Structure 1
Amino acid sequence: MQNPLAISGTVRATDVEGTLPSAHVFLSNTTFGKITDRQGKFQIKVDRPGTYELIVRFTGYKTFSRTLVIESDGIEGLEISLKPQNRDLGSFTIVAKNRSEWRKNLKLFKDVFLGTSSNAESTKILNEEVMNFYNDRENGKLIAFADEPLMIRNKALGYDIEYYLETFELFYTESYSRYLGYPLFKEISLSKPSSRVVKRRREAYLGSIEHFFLSIFEGKLLEEGFIVRTARDTIGGGLLVASDTVDISMTKVQSNITTKSMSFEDYLFITYTGAYETEEYERYKAMLMINDQVKRTGGRNRQRSWIKMVDQNKPILFESSGYVINPLDFYQYGFWGFEKMADRVPLNYRLNSEN
């Protein structure tokens, strides 16, 4: 096993002298994180080289984010300065927490953010009271934010998650949502996870979008169970899917060995042959009246998803871990659109490490 690689540095603030003790420093979407000591210093150790997103949070200050490429020597001596945060409420109307409208918005938020899968049924936000909601009636959208991290307990996958929510918007008319945040995963139990949790983690990872992009990076799409076809919109709605599979040799290596990019026209329609679509997903499709215009071949379908780029000039950038650097630059539909935070495992999850 490779020796751990260290990331170290000091956290300060622009409006006060000295350093910031007790700041939260972590690598987003992983289990790697620390709290700064009395001198504002931190050291995080990772188990392998790669590209990570370093996040620093301290109450009352803007989130600090920086992409780090960790090579064989690690990174030392980072100097990080946090800026004060001033939230501009603009013309939005905040929803009072003692009103039924707040409870209604909270349920809607949880359905969109945590999801409605079987894993979501065992996932709770432990500090729901920190949630705030704005109704932007002019633009027909709900905006959610929290000044404190959401403390999430996912019993199905055995993780406690600190989630720092940066953006959440739900557009009522389009039935479309977008959100961005930074999760830090922690094991609920210090002991070895149960066989049931190990099985659920494996199921959550296999066929996921991280699994897909990792398979592209390693050139193992078919070996890992993914079939990719092109697709386009039809005049009557739904997708027209090509019969021939796509060669994903269109990816090209970026400026460092850990990053690749991918661009395409219309849609990519991805079938994961290793698992079937769930009953919860069938109910989700019926509720949203989703029709992908693809006929069944008998029984349940294999997991099917499709993606579309927001801007052809902004390719999808992804790392050797399967992590997508710019997730807001492409749309996810189908099974991937159904999977939410309750179905996520950390980027440093290893498929065979718990067997």
Structure 2
Amino acid sequence: MKVLLSLFIFISQFAAAQVITGYVHDAETEEPLVGVSVYFDGTTLATVTDETGAFSIKPQQGINKALIFSYIGYEKIVLENPTSYTSRLKVLMKASAETLDEVVITGKTIFSRKQMLRAFRKQFLGDNKGGRSCTIQNEDDIVLYYNSGTNTLHAEAKRPLRIINKYLQYDINFDLAEFEVNYYSTSLEENEIGSAFYAGTTLFKDTSKDGSADKRRRQAYRGSIAHLMRTIYNNDWENQDFDWYVDKEHIAPDSCFAITDSLNYKKITIKELPPMEVPGLTTMQGAPGVKDRILKRDFTKTKYVLMYRQSAQTTINFTMREFYINEYGLFFPFNALLFAGHLGNMRAGDLLPDNYEYIETD
């Protein structure tokens, strides 16, 4: 899941605990809108507006996610840094000017909707226990098209996708913003995939009873991006089963990161890597060879490999020297790290709410 942040504001402990109130009206008629979904992106924290259009919602400590206003027939509103507002909010929603029913796709259809939908399910939901257990209740709202010029499968949705994850026991409301899979050739075969990307906002509803999904959720959390980020935040690597390698050399995490406090976040700085010695070349005839070289390493071009339990391998590219993490493992900027391999293959069927609290058991 990708969240675009236009402004990064550090918030105080007091602000994080405040109740956000306001009302939602139609932008043109000023009439109150009843039943608007108001939620913090990626969490279980949600409410709806009452008959006067009013709402009240309380953030969770450490969760400073965008506040989403969603209503069928209206343009979605994404309010960044909602805890920075101290007065009652007045939200005006505009009726949608266009719908995806009006999209006209020209050119020859290469693949059938059935073929494209099968590929979409696999790349969006995943092909593991969680992904295979998921069903999308409103697949008719998905618009699929394949660009043969770029060998790219695209998907959009007329309405938020209603996903039932039976394995992790969550109902997920996923408002799909972007989805594309790029292939090396004109194909839908998995072994031809070059890259896959999706983005949107999510609302989770816990459907478990008496802890029926606790064990599976703990399994889904272990080795996930949230697990990794919370481990970095706490700087506690003991018994977490993560191992770091740089250029195939096993290294301690504290040789990778410098961690400093920054209000409610931890500032993570990628450390300079020691120079790498490249052996020279010798010749069979005893002629002078190439001398050993000492190369300075650029962290943006260095291959960092993360192993979880020495089996699940992820390659991580750091695009920025500094990024920030909060106690829930939410990090900013979202594009400071690029994942490939195990973590890069995580899909919607693997998702846990951002406010999921992991509790270790014996």
Same fold (TM over 0.5): yes
Residue aligning to 1:39: 52
1:267–1:206 CA distance, 2 compared to 1 (3 A): same
Residue aligning to 1:276: none
CA distance in 2, matches of 1:60, 1:162: 16
1:199 paired to 2:215: yes
1:86–1:308 CA distance, 2 compared to 1 (3 A): farther
Worse-superposed segment, 170-179 or 104-113: 170-179
CA distance in 1, matches of 2:47, 2:336: 30
Residue aligning to 1:336: 343
Q: Contact between 2:74 and 2:94, CA under 8 Å: does it hold in 1?
A: yes
Q: Contact between 1:226 and 1:271, CA under 8 Å: does it hold in 2?
A: yes
Q: Contact between 1:92 and 1:135, CA under 8 Å: does it hold in 2?
A: no
Residue aligning to 2:306: 270
Deviations 1:43-79 (A, max 9, x none): 12344243222111122333222333759xx965123
CA distance in 2, matches of 1:216, 1:162: 29
The residue type paired with residue 62 of structure 1 is E
- SS of structure 1 residue aligned to 2:122: helix
**Shift in Å at residue 84 of structure 1?**
4.5
Which is richer in strand? 1
1:17–1:250 CA distance, 2 compared to 1 (3 A): same
1:152 paired to 2:134: no
The residue type paired with residue 332 of structure 1 is F
Residue aligning to 2:33: 20
Residue aligning to 1:291: none
**1:189-268 equivalences in 2 (<5 Å):** 189=208, 191-194=209-212, 197-231=213-247, 241-247=248-254, 248-253=256-261, 256-258=263-265, 260-261=267-268, 264-265=299-300, 266-268=302-304
The residue type paired with residue 272 of structure 1 is Y
Instruction: Report % sequence identity.
Output: 25
Residue aligning to 1:304: 313
1:68 paired to 2:76: no
**Shift in Å at residue 201 of structure 1?**
0.4
Equivalenced residues, count: 309
CA distance in 2, matches of 1:94, 1:250: 53
1:132 paired to 2:143: yes
Worse-superposed segment, 256-265 or 125-134: 256-265
Q: Contact between 2:257 and 2:269, CA under 8 Å: does it hold in 1?
A: no
Q: Contact between 1:6 and 1:76, CA under 8 Å: does it hold in 2?
A: no
**Shift in Å at residue 347 of structure 1?**
1.5
CA distance in 2, matches of 1:317, 1:144: 31
* Alignment root-mean-square deviation, CA: 3.4
Which consecutive unaligned segments of at least 5 residues does structure 1 have?
232-240, 274-300
Residue aligning to 1:237: none
1:75–1:352 CA distance, 2 compared to 1 (3 A): farther
Residue aligning to 2:327: 320
Deviations 1:116-143 (A, max 9, x none): 0122221111211111112223332121
Aligned pair partner of 2:105 in 90, 93, 110: 93
TM-score scaled to structure 1, two decimals?
0.75
CA distance in 1, matches of 2:261, 2:174: 31
- SS of structure 2 residue aligned to 1:175: strand
1:58 paired to 2:58: no
The residue type paired with residue 162 of structure 2 is M
**Shift in Å at residue 25 of structure 1?**
0.8
- SS of structure 2 residue aligned to 1:51: coil
The residue type paired with residue 93 of structure 1 is I
Which of the pair has more CA radius of gyration?
Answer: 2
1:77 paired to 2:88: yes
CA distance in 2, matches of 1:23, 1:95: 38
CA distance in 1, matches of 2:238, 2:126: 29
CA distance in 2, matches of 1:20, 1:94: 37
1:94–1:164 CA distance, 2 compared to 1 (3 A): farther
- SS of structure 2 residue aligned to 1:56: strand
1:141–1:302 CA distance, 2 compared to 1 (3 A): same
CA distance in 2, matches of 1:64, 1:91: 22
CA distance in 2, matches of 1:148, 1:96: 26
Q: Contact between 2:130 and 2:168, CA under 8 Å: does it hold in 1?
A: yes
TM-score scaled to structure 2, two decimals?
0.74
Q: Contact between 1:55 and 1:63, CA under 8 Å: does it hold in 2?
A: yes
Deviations 1:294-334 (A, max 9, x none): xxxxxxx432212224x448x54433211234445542111
1:267–1:320 CA distance, 2 compared to 1 (3 A): farther
1:272–1:353 CA distance, 2 compared to 1 (3 A): closer
- SS of structure 1 residue aligned to 2:244: strand
CA distance in 2, matches of 1:40, 1:334: 45
Deviations 1:215-260 (A, max 9, x none): 11121134533222334xxxxxxxxx23333424334555x42364
Deviations 1:143-168 (A, max 9, x none): 10112111111111111111111111
CA distance in 1, matches of 2:324, 2:104: 34
CA distance in 2, matches of 1:328, 1:95: 35
**Shift in Å at residue 83 of structure 1?**
4.1
Deviations 1:148-204 (A, max 9, x none): 111111111111111111111111225211111111111224x3132xx21110000
The residue type paired with residue 184 of structure 1 is L
The residue type paired with residue 138 of structure 2 is N
CA distance in 2, matches of 1:250, 1:86: 49
